[in-house]
Amino acid sequence: MTRKTVKLSTLRLSPLNVRKVEPKAIDAMAADILAHGVIQNLVVYKEGRNHMVSAGGRRFRGLKLLQKRGDIAASYEVPVDVREKSEAVELSLAENIQREDMHPADAVAAYGALVQLAMSSDDIAARYGVSPAHVRRVLKLSALHPDILAAFAKDEIGMGAAQAYTLTDDLERQLAVFERAGDSARQIRSMLTEQKVSTQSKLFTFVSLEDYKEAGGTVTADLFAEDGEGYADSPEILFRLVEEKLAKVELNYRNDGWSQVELCQGRPDNFYTLRLMEPEGRMEPSDEQAKQLEVNAKAQQAIIDDDDADRHFNPELRELEREASRIEASLCFYTDEQKANGKAIIFLGYDGQLEAHAIDLRRASAGNVSKMPKADYSAKLTTSLIKIKTLAVREAVATDPELAFDLLLQTLLVQLVHDGDSYALPLSIKPDARAVEVDEPLMAQSQIRSVKEISAEDIAALSDDDSLSAIRALDKDVKQRLFACLVASQIDANGCYGANGIGQMDEIALAAQIDMKAKWQPPVGFFESVSKPTLLKILREQCGDSVADNCASMKKTDLALAMADRLAGKDWLPPALCAASEVKADELEEAA
């Protein structure tokens, strides 16, 4: 080994440097070199007049970035260790393993190169402190199709998907599945491991059994199944037919003007994270379609107006609604602009029917999006505050049988008489163990009793006999107390959808005359969960500008302690707990 300095202009990145994937933080490396110089030597080997960098690729890239910016010259002297070329790969691998996690794609190339140098997987494992099994798993990835390995190196697919592709050594089969399954490890495994496909599979709904047989496929009959049921003996024929039919569908969509089309054999794993587009174009219905819609609407209205008809579970009404939806859908279309800026994603549904959806690929322009002001309280803390209010409401209802009765009656009336939605109500009448738990630091100054505590004595006194006669024989006061506690245990505003449930929680709190200030005071744990700007905002509102200015330089933990001390006795509550006191009592009295 020889240590010396060489000119930057003589350095080249060696193809033997195992870090093939572009590393991150090159800017940070360049800034560090500019400030402190090259602290650690680069490892190089001679090749003609040049010095090939085998270890220290990030430092080399940082130097080249500085040269490009004009911060250093091409004659900049770089400290290097000159090694034999045969040491290059091993030293590069050692450096990267020791300094930071290598990209697995780099390790595939590196371990593969070491195997070429006649090192066994056990030798590689011993040399670099990893298990032989890990080395074998990495080497297995070297059997990937080059296109898949390239996608892996670019982080277009993850480790799970890469490993799934190694289930077959057939590179063409890997590539065919890659073009359809992409990064979905579950779908990859399904497509590569399915040896025999049931004739009841959704694939045989998409491709008929007759077409499969005409293509040379055979079926092993299930002796215990109905006529024609069995298993495809040649799944590769079935897969080919599916691929061919999907390819025709893709061509039709492209001919229709879609700029991008993605085909899958099943719903993509990330489907529900995609931005779906609704068609923006609508054509006028034909005379026949307009007549059908008119007749349909009259038929629906006749059922709705029929007092004897069940509007909620009427199959005829449901079918009329579906028919109207089908006609309306046939009138809608995606505009040319949508097709240019979107992607059609097509896959087989669970029933084998083709599903097509439009994905919006456009991103909102930063200049056109108004920034929403940051909320004073995080979503997590707001949820905890609603839980605290829920606990207080539960306690009140559990000790007021009359209120519990009215609340249950209201819930039944809303759903069964007024056609309201159960998910918008704070009370569920489907028995559910709705545990409402709040982190202990937020309950340090709480006086709220749990429903379990309130009902403990009555429940302990119950016998094991849960028959109706046994329940009817209970003391009236006991029944009322149990009824109130059980109704209270089902209240949960966090289980509601939208603000409606929260508003009704406030109604219950007002009806129960809950004094939240007597039930809960903000402890230090609450203030520790609030951002410093919000703490100072609260302090300014409650104690004045001078107090807030004096506390502005305090650390967050010290400020939280000061807040708990200064607001003690001021009856201050966060907005989520004040809402109940803001409901006007006269509005409820008028409705009573």
The Cα–Cα gap between 144 and 588 comes to: 70
pLDDT at 334: 92
pLDDT of the chain, 592 residues: tens digit per residue? 678 899 999 998 887 665 554 555 677 788 888 878 888 888 888 888 899 888 888 888 889 889 988 889 989 999 998 888 767 666 666 665 554 456 677 777 777 777 776 778 788 777 666 777 777 878 888 778 889 988 888 878 888 888 888 878 888 888 888 887 788 777 787 777 665 677 888 888 888 888 999 999 888 775 555 555 777 888 878 888 988 888 899 899 999 999 899 887 678 777 777 888 889 999 999 999 999 999 999 998 888 887 665 655 677 888 888 899 889 988 999 999 999 989 999 888 877 888 889 998 875 444 444 444 567 888 788 888 888 888 888 899 889 998 888 888 777 656 655 555 555 556 656 655 567 888 888 888 889 999 889 988 988 888 887 777 887 888 989 888 988 888 888 887 765 544 445 567 788 888 888 888 889 999 998 998 998 999 999 999 998 899 889 889 898 888 988 888 888 888 899 988 875 445 344 444 444 4
Cα torsion through 483, 487, 488, 491, rounded to 10: 180
The Cα–Cα gap between 111 and 124 comes to: 8
Q: What is the pTM of this model?
A: 0.38
The Cα–Cα gap between 39 and 556 comes to: 38
pLDDT at 578: 77
- Of 124, 91, 99, 116, whose CA–CA distance to 14 is shortest? 91
pLDDT at 150: 85
pLDDT at 7: 92
- Tens-place pLDDT, residues 36-53: 888 888 888 888 889 988
* β pairing state of 354-360 and 342-348: antiparallel
Q: How many CA atoms lie within 13 A of 585 on its CB side?
A: 7
pLDDT at 586: 40
Encoded tokens for 73: 């010259």
CATH of domain 2-153: 3.90.1530.30
pLDDT at 496: 55
pLDDT at 310: 60
Phi/psi-derived region of residue 443, left when phi > 0, alpha when psi is between -120 and 50, beta in every other case: alpha
Encoded tokens for 103: 């990209």
Task: Please calculate the CA angle 137-142-147 and round it to the nearest 5 degrees.
Answer: 130
pLDDT at 454: 92
Encoded tokens for 574: 């966060």
The Cα–Cα gap between 414 and 420 comes to: 5
pLDDT at 495: 54
Any idea where the domains of the chain sit in the sequence?
A: 2-153, 271-364, 379-519
Encoded tokens for 236: 């590769």
Supply the DSSP symbol for 373.
P
The Cα–Cα gap between 383 and 374 comes to: 17
Supply the DSSP symbol for 360.
E
Residue with tokens 């399954």: 181
- Tens-place pLDDT, residues 383-425: 888 888 888 888 998 899 988 888 887 776 566 555 555 555 5
End-to-end CA distance of the chain: 94
The Cα–Cα gap between 375 and 379 comes to: 9
The Cα–Cα gap between 522 and 560 comes to: 11
